Chains A and B, each alone.
Chain A
Amino acid sequence: MSEETKSFEPTIIGFTCNWCSYRAADMAGTARMKYAPNVRLIRLMCSGRLDPTFVFKAFANGADGVLVSGCHPGDCHYINQNYKMLRRFHLMKRVLAQMGIEPERIKLLWASAAEGAIFAEEVNKFVEQVRALGPLNWHPGNGAASTVHTPMSAEEVPA
Chain B
Amino acid sequence: MSKPKFAMYWAASCGGCEIAVLNIHEKILDVDANFEVVFWPVAMDAKYKDVEAMEDGSILLTLFNGGIRNDENEHIAKLLRKKSQILVAFGSCACEGCIPGLANFSPIQQVVDTAFSTVSTDNPENVRPQPSYDMPEGTIHIPTLYPVLRTLDQVVDVDYYMPGCPPESHQIAAVIDLVIQVLQGKAQLPPKGSVIGAGGSTVCDECKRKRNEKTIKEFGRIQLMHADPELCLLEQGIPCNGPATRSGCNARCPSAGAQCIGCYGPAEGVVDYGARLVSAFASVIDSNDPAEIDRILDGLVDPAGQFYRFNLAGSLLRAAKPAWKSGD
Contacts and interface: CB of A to CB of B under 8 A. Distances in A.
Interface of A: 51-53, 56-57, 59-60, 73, 80, 83-84, 86-88, 90-92, 94-95, 98-101, 136, 138-141, 143-144, 147-158
Interface of B: 68, 71, 104-105, 108-109, 112-113, 117, 125-131, 144-150, 154, 271-272, 274-276, 278-279, 281-283, 285, 287-288, 290, 293-294, 297, 300, 302-305, 307, 315-328
Contacts of B272: 52-53, 56-57
A99 B316 CA distance: 11
B288 A86 contact: yes
A141 B128 contact: no
B117 A157 contact: yes
A30 B271 CA distance: 37
Contacts of A158: 113, 117
B257 to A, nearest CB: 26
A100 B328 contact: no
A80 B288 contact: yes
Given A87-B282, A100-B325, A149-B326, 19 more contacts: A52-B275, A53-B316, A56-B317, A60-B317, A90-B282, A90-B290, A94-B297, A100-B321, A101-B321, A138-B321, A139-B324, A140-B104, A140-B318, A144-B68, A144-B148, A144-B150, A154-B125, A154-B126, A154-B128
B213 to A, nearest CB: 14
Contact of B279 (A51, A86, A140, A148): A51
Contacts of B324: 138-140, 143-144
A94 B275 contact: no
A93 to B, nearest CB: 10
Contact of A144 (B105, B300, B321, B327): B327
Contacts of A99: 304, 317, 320-321
Contacts of B327: 143-144, 147, 149
A152 B317 contact: no
Contact of A90 (B148, B293, B325): B293
Contact of A98 (B146, B149, B304): B304
A49 to B, nearest CB: 10
A144 B307 contact: no
28 contacts: A51-B275, A52-B274, A53-B275, A57-B272, A59-B316, A87-B285, A87-B287, A88-B278, A90-B282, A90-B290, A91-B300, A91-B303, A94-B297, A94-B300, A95-B274, A100-B325, A136-B321, A138-B321, A138-B324, A140-B148, A143-B328, A144-B68, A149-B108, A149-B146, A149-B327, A151-B131, A153-B130, A157-B117
B283 A95 contact: no
B106 to A, nearest CB: 10
A149 B147 contact: yes
Considering the complex of A and B, which 7 residue pairs feature the smallest CB-CB distances, nearest first? A100-B321, A98-B304, A143-B327, A140-B324, A52-B275, A53-B275, A140-B318
Contacts of B293: 86-87, 90
Contact of B146 (A94, A95, A148): A148
Given A56-B316, A95-B307, A140-B148, A152 B109 contact: yes
Given A52-B278, A147-B327, A148-B71, A88 B283 contact: yes
Contacts of A60: 316-318
Tell which of A92, A95, A138, A148 has the most Cβ of chain B within 10 Å. Answer: A95
A154 B322 CA distance: 20
Nearest to A82: B288
Nearest to B270: A53
Contacts of A150: 131, 144
Contacts of B320: 98-100
Given A80-B288, A90-B294, A144 B131 contact: no
A57 B316 contact: yes
Contacts of B131: 150-151
